[in-house]
Amino acid sequence: MDSLLDFEECIKDSPEFRLTLDQFEADVSSLETHLDKVMKLCGKMVEAGQAYNSANKLFLSSLAELLSYQKKETVVMSCLNQFQQGLQEMLSFHTMLLDQTQRAIVQQLSSLCSQFLPQLVDTRKEFVRIGEDLETAAAKNAQVSRHKAADAERASHLLLATRKCYQHFALDYCLQLNTFKTQQKMDVLNSVFSFVHAQFTFFHQGFDLLRDLEPSMKTLGAQLSQLSADCATKRKELENRHLLVQQRDASGEPMVNSCPSNGAVIQGYLFKRSRRKSKTWKRCWFTIRDHQLIYKKSHKEDAAVLFEDLRLCAVKPADHMDRRFCFELLSVQKCCVLQADSEQLKQAWLSALQGSIDLAYRERSDAQLTQPKDPPPVLSAGDASPGPPSQRPAVLAVALGGPGNQRCCDCGQEEPRWASVNLGVTVCIECSGIHRSLGVHLSKIRSLTLDSWEAEQLKLLCVLGNDVVNGIYEARCSEEGRVKPGSDSPRSEKEMWIREKYVEKRFVQSSSSGGASKSYC
């Protein structure tokens, strides 16, 4: 049994008692250091365990999502569900263990420290202070002269009172030290016992839980053996198919295939010249679909429409470029230079683009334009003399048969007699004069009754027509708050409207057409 401080020796305040007291104080200080270390490390362990449980919860949630892909396998899914529930119970057991550890170690030991140690510190301060007062009183009592009876009597009374006070605090201090040494032994042992008991309960519960899962583990083990054999067979089949495709197709040569499954005519990578920096080229993924040329700068970005209607475009090789395998796409609004990886790919894209343009014309002409089997010859734009009078009414009738061509494209006047060759629209005589003032680079005006027309020019006029062109050039008219002028509107109002419409392209709904002149993208 551990020795304690002797109260009688405390009254004597002998050097032996002082040595024993110093040893007790050193033991208390060392024990306090160890208690603090144990509680801090226990707190860190509990925090780490809580973090582990949080991560384990997330892991089990992701595992449950992964197991949801096995819904078709009823036997496997049943076993996996039991495992999932078992793991959840193990997690709850571990949470209980951390809680019990917190109570067993931190709460009990902190109670010991908070109940005794602060009181010991305060009592020791008073004990030291009264001890110093006793030393002072003893020194004064020893210094009083024998011839001064009154001073000697006062010094003796002060020494007696101080010694009594010192003995009182010394006895209290010894009592607290003895009590702490006795109590700490019980609290420490009780704390450790509670912690070990919590560990015992945790592992015992885990053992019972895993023993209940043993039948399911055997069932799943048999399923895994069968799945392993099936997997080996499937892997061999995949290796054979991989080798076949590698020998047949993976030659590195460019492949050009149509894509009827997703509605695309052709798709693949092309280099696109930048609109602002002519020396900058960007490799993009291009697709021809629904008479539109669509491209993606990267797989993370949405597709953008480069040309909204291929019927308004022309395609030709760009042999003047310093770079190889280049070709151009031109429309009224812009010009775009593209580059393929090889001559084979370049020709494939040229054929696909031209085929898409021709197909778009055929689809519109089949529904809206009926051409004679042997159309009469018409004069070219450079001929000075007009065609025979019998041909002019036929040209007018065919031109007005286009979508929306029965009214002026810009003011709505009925039965227009003029048309723009490069825009593909019919206009009245007043609007035709305004179109002439724009210049032939924007609108080239011809008469439907006086001038001669080539078959391709007439075909363009009929296939496009006022409705199609207005759908492009007037797409944002309502957003801009503009009202289209009528046939009886002043000429100045019509002129302003036509310039905003064709020169400034203010109402065009297109991300790539933002300037008044042709843009190069």
What local confidence, expressed as pLDDT, does residue 333 receive?
A: 65
Contact call for residues 31 and 184 (beta carbons, < 8 A): yes
> Dihedral of the CA atoms 412, 413, 416, 422 (nearest 10)?
-30
Q: Would you state the pLDDT for residue 203?
A: 92
Across 257-271, average pLDDT: 72
> Is residue 128 domain-shared with residue 78, that is, in the same domain?
yes
User: What are the pLDDT digits (tens) for 7-59?
Assistant: 888 888 888 888 988 888 888 888 888 988 998 999 899 999 999 999 999 98
Of 227, 127, 223, whose CA–CA distance to 171 is shortest?
127
Q: What is the extent of the structural domain holding 228?
A: 7-233
Residues 396, 426 contacting (CB under 8 angstroms): no
- Residue 383 makes CB contacts below 8 A (sequence gap 6+) with 452
Using CB atoms within 10 Å of the CB of residue 390, give its burial: 0 to 12 exposed, 13 to 18 middle, 19+ buried: exposed
In 237-395, which ranges are E strands? 266-273, 281-289, 292-296, 304-307, 313-317, 326-331, 334-339
301, part of any domain = yes
Q: Which residues pair with 327 in a beta bridge?
A: 317, 338
The predicted pLDDT at position 512 comes to 46
For residue 192, the domain's CATH number is: 1.20.1270.60
pLDDT of residue 96: 92
Q: Do 80 and 166 share a domain, yes or no?
A: yes
The mean per-residue pLDDT over the stretch 301-322 comes to 84
Q: How far apart are CA 499 and CA 182, in angstroms?
A: 104
Convert the pLDDT of each residue in 33-42 to its tens digit: 898 899 899 9
Do 174 and 72 share a structural domain? yes
3-state secondary structure of 49: helix
- Note whether residue 387 is domain-resident: no
Band of pLDDT at residue 394, cut at 50, 70 and 90 = low
223/328 same-domain check: no
Give yes or no: residues 208 and 59 share one domain.
yes
Q: How many structural domains compose the chain? A: 3
Condensed to tens digits (0 to 9), the pLDDT of residues 147-168 reads 888 888 898 899 899 989 988 9
Other CB atoms within a 10 A radius of the CB of residue 360 amount to: 19
Residue 373 lies in a domain: no
- Tell me if 326 sits within 8 A of 300, measured CB to CB: no
The verdict on residue 515 lying in a domain is: no
239 pLDDT more than 60? yes
Three-state secondary structure of 380-406: CCCCCCCCCCCHHHHHHHHHHCCCCCC
For residues 130 and 198, state if they share a domain. yes
CB-based contact 70:76 (threshold 8 Å): yes
d(CA 401, CA 367): 11
Looking at the structure, tell me whether residues 204 and 326 fall in a common domain.
Answer: no
In Å, how far from its chain's centre is CA 140?
84
What string of H, E and C letters represents the secondary structure of 189-229? HHHHHHHHHHHHHHHHHHHHHHHHCHHHHHHHHHHHHHHHH
d(CA 436, CA 181): 113
Phi, psi at residue 420, to the nearest 5°? -100, 120
Q: From CA 502, how far away is CA 437, in angstroms rounded?
A: 12
Looking at per-residue pLDDT, the higher value among 64 and 337 belongs to 337
pLDDT at 390: 42
- Looking at the domain assignment, is residue 95 inside a domain? yes
Asked whether residue 2 is domain-assigned, the answer is: no
Query: How far apart (Å, rounded) are the C-alpha atoms in residues 495 and 437?
Result: 10
Query: Residue 266 domain-assigned?
Result: yes
How distant is the alpha carbon of residue 227 from its chain centre? 36
Q: What are the distances in angstroms from CA 74 to CA 64, 68, 77, 230, 234?
A: 15, 11, 5, 17, 21
Question: In CATH, what number is assigned to the domain containing residue 339?
Answer: 2.30.29.30
**Contact between residue 187 and residue 108 where contact means Cβ atoms under 8 Å apart:** yes
Does 145 lie in the same domain as 273? Answer: no
Residue range 348-380, pLDDT digits in tens = 999 888 888 777 656 654 554 444 444 443 333
Q: For residue 419, what is the domain's CATH number?
A: 1.10.220.150
pLDDT digits (tens, 9 = 90+) for 60-93: 888 788 777 766 667 667 777 788 888 889 999 9
What number of helices (H) and strands (E) belong to the chain? 13, 11
- The answer on 400 and 358 residing in a single domain is no
Same structural domain, 289 and 429: no
CA separation for the pair 424, 402 (Å, rounded): 10
Looking at 198, 218, 233, which one is the last position of a domain?
233
- The residue from 233, 251, 283 where one domain ends is 233
Which ranges of 68-147 would DSSP assign to H, the alpha helix?
Answer: 74-101, 108-143
Both tokens of residue 271? 């280099």
- Judge whether 318 and 326 are in contact, CB under 8 Å: yes
Tell me which residue of 85, 94, 96 sits closest to 60, measured CA to CA.
85
Do both 87 and 138 map to the same domain? yes
Residues 84 and 26 grouped into a single domain: yes
Pairing label, strands 334-339, 519-520: parallel
Report field, pTM of the whole predicted structure over 0.75: no
Crossing angle (nearest 10°) for helices 455-463 and 343-368: 70
Q: Which residues does 414 contact at the CB level (< 8 Å), separation at least 6? A: 406, 407, 408, 487
The pLDDT-based confidence of 213 (bands split at 50, 70, 90) is confident
Task: Indicate whether 520 belongs to any domain.
Answer: no
Return the higher-pLDDT residue of 92 and 262: 92
The pLDDT, as a whole number, for residue 412 is 92
What is the Cα gyration radius of the chain? 50
SS3 state at 426 = strand
Give tens-digit pLDDT for 444-498. 898 888 888 887 788 888 888 899 999 889 988 888 888 999 999 999 999 999 9
50: which DSSP letter?
Answer: H
